[in-house]
């Protein structure tokens, strides 16, 4: 009996060792599996389009699009519901072809922008944080933008966030980690691409190295750093790097659309000028990223998310105008890289109702303008003992539209008045905000409530979101699929449900890239 049990034990151990050996010897092939288990190679019989626009809403999936369309339509108005409406579609959601793409990367169902942008740009899965390299970080991949440049297309890259951030970088660089900002910037200068526009550079001097502006000029780029220079760009301007002169408070990105002042340049302006620079008989490829959508959803800021999605749609409109002039030669693709924030349209306190009109009363981004221009100066003049929520009542009303109970406007907007529970939450958050960050002793619940954000601003954000009927599940990315919309030459290939690497494969088939 003992011998029989020992034989079974030995057999089990042997089986385990064999399985472990297989796993270990094939672990390096896991990535290969992801890239070999694809659908049949797309086939395109027509002539390749001369003009290709690829729009990527960073952090944008179905919730971000749906919330924006509901906000624009002010769902809940009786006349809209009677007509069967209630939403106002964004221009790209009206495209004749739509599909959906999975977003997981080589090791996680919740990816980052480096791995997802690599999938779209080059057609391969990789690790989070890695740009155009395999999981061993030894093999480099060629993004479609480089392939098209060798075929004679002019190439433009536009983003509302730093131009050496992960998504734009995936179309001109190859690095083992997305945080190698100076290296990425040097590869931008070496790319020879014709137009870069929008945000500025992270780490423009690296570790005391030559400023990237000097490097760019040495490589033959013309720098357009003020509004007049940017608006005067055309197809005789040569190779151009156009940096927005009116940056957000972080100094490297376009302002959130809700914060943008009249007369300041928007994402759409950089797309329009990019078309002017790139337009030529041989054709061009332009990748445009709406990067602040992602930042807004990281901060759970529904107002900023909605307005930046509108700004993204306005940028797409510039491509649609171009398409209307060249319908037989143009392809426009609109997608996201992943979803951010776990946005959900629905809140336990509002049941089956939404109140998107309440978002109209907000005038600024929460984490950007309110935190930096209101809360930070207040913290410099007050202590935790002297701070009072009532001191900030007017600023809170202007930024978020919510009212303390004794506000003169309370009787006109009763739905915006803070209740006792909300006041209690805000007072607790203010106390935490007034405590130096290195001295904050968060409970587990408080860590979930505040994430890495300023306690008062994030609490106000959540309160306004909930009043409108919106909730967020995380401060990070999620594993949701993303929609894909297409208009123009080859649009029919983008129907169905597929992997994000297939976006590259479909573009490659249409553009005859091997």
Per the annotation, binding residues for Mg(2+) are 58, 165, 167, 289
Distance of CA 100 to the CA centre of its chain: 17
Q: Helix, strand, or coil here: 221?
A: coil
Alpha-carbon distance of 67 to 71, in angstroms, equals 6
- Beta strand 344-345 with 470-471: parallel, antiparallel or unpaired? antiparallel
Long-range CB pairs of 14-21, under 8 A, 24+ apart, other chains included: none
Q: Residues at the annotated binding site? A: 58, 165, 167, 289, 294, 298, 337-338, 477
In degrees, to the nearest 5, what angle opens at C-alpha 335 toward C-alphas 331 and 336?
A: 155
Establish whether 159 is a catalytic residue: no
* C-alpha dihedral (75, 78, 82, 86), degrees to nearest 10: -10
3-state secondary structure 49-89: CCEEEEEEECCCCHHHHHHHHHHHHCCCCHHHHHCCCCCCC
- Element counts in the chain: helices (H) and strands (E): 19, 14
Under 8 Å CB-to-CB from 409, ≥6 apart: which residues? 397, 403
| CA nearest to 187, candidates 233, 134, 140 | 140
Element of type H or E holding 376: helix 376-381
Q: Count Cβ atoms below 10 Å from residue 406 Cβ, excluding itself.
A: 9
Residues 364 and 258 sit within 8 Å (Cβ to Cβ): yes
In the three-class reduction of DSSP (H, G, I as helix; E, B as strand; rest coil), residue 380 is classed as helix
Q: Which backbone phi and psi does 11 adopt, to 5 degrees?
A: -65, -40
R_g of the chain computed on alpha carbons: 25
Strand spans (E) along 186-244:
195-198, 222-224, 240-243
Which is catalytic among the residues 113, 122, 128, 313? Answer: 113
The catalytic site residues sit at 113
């Amino acid at each position: 009996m003992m011998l029989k049990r020992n034989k079974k034990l030995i057999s089990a151990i042997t089986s385990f060792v064999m399985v472990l050996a297989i796993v270990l010897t094939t672990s390096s092939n896991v990535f290969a599996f992801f890239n070999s288990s694809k659908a049949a190679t797309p086939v395109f019989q027509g002539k390749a389009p001369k003009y290709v626009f690829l729009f990527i809403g960073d952090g944008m999936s179905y919730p971000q699009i749906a919330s924006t369309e509901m906000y624009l339509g002010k769902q809940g108005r009786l006349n809209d519901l009677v007509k069967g409406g209630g939403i106002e579609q964004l221009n790209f959601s009206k495209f004749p072809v739509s599909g959906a793409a999975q977003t997981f990367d080589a090791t996680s169902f919740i990816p980052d922008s480096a791995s997802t942008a690599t999938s779209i740009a080059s057609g391969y899965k990789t690790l989070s944080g890695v740009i155009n390299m395999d999981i061993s970080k030894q093999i480099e991949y060629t993004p479609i933008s480089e392939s098209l440049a060798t075929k004679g297309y002019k190439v433009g890259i536009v983003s509302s966030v730093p131009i050496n951030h992960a998504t734009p970088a995936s179309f001109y660089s190859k690095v083992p980690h997305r945080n190698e900002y100076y290296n990425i910037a040097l590869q931008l200068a070496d790319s020879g691409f014709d137009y870069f526009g929008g945000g500025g550079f992270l780490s423009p001097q690296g570790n005391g190295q030559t400023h990237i502006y000097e490097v760019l000029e040495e490589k033959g780029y013309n720098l357009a750093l003020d509004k007049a220079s940017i608006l005067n760009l055309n197809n005789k301007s040569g190779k151009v790097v156009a940096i927005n002169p009116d940056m957000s408070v972080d100094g490297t990105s376009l302002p959130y659309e809700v914060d943008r002042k009249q007369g300041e340049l928007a994402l759409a302006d950089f797309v329009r000028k990019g078309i002017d620079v790139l337009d030529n008989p041989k054709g061009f490829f332009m990748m445009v990223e709406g990067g602040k959508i992602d930042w807004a959803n990281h901060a759970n800021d529904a107002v900023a998310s909605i307005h930046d999605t509108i700004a993204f749609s306005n940028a797409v409109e510039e491509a649609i105008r171009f398409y209307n002039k060249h319908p037989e030669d143009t392809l426009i693709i609109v997608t996201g890289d992943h979803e951010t924030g776990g946005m959900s349209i629905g809140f336990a306190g509002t049941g089956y109702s939404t109140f998107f009109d309440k978002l109209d009363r907000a005038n600024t981004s929460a984490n950007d303008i309110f935190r930096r221009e209101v809360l930070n100066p207040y913290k410099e003049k007050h202590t935790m003992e002297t701070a009072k929520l009532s001191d900030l009542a007017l600023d809170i009303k202007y930024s978020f539209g919510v009212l303390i109970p004794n506000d003169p406007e309370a009787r006109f907007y009763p739905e915006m008045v803070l209740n006792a529970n909300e006041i209690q939450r805000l007072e607790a958050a203010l106390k935490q905000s007034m405590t130096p960050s290195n001295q904050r002793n968060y409970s587990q619940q408080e860590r979930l409530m505040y994430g890495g954000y300023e306690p008062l601003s994030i609490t106000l954000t959540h309160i306004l979101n909930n009043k409108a009927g919106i909730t967020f599940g995380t401060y990070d990315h999620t594993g949701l699929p993303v929609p894909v919309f297409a208009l123009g030459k080859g649009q029919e290939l983008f129907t169905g449900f597929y992997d994000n690497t297939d976006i590259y494969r479909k573009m490659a088939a249409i553009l005859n890239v091997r």
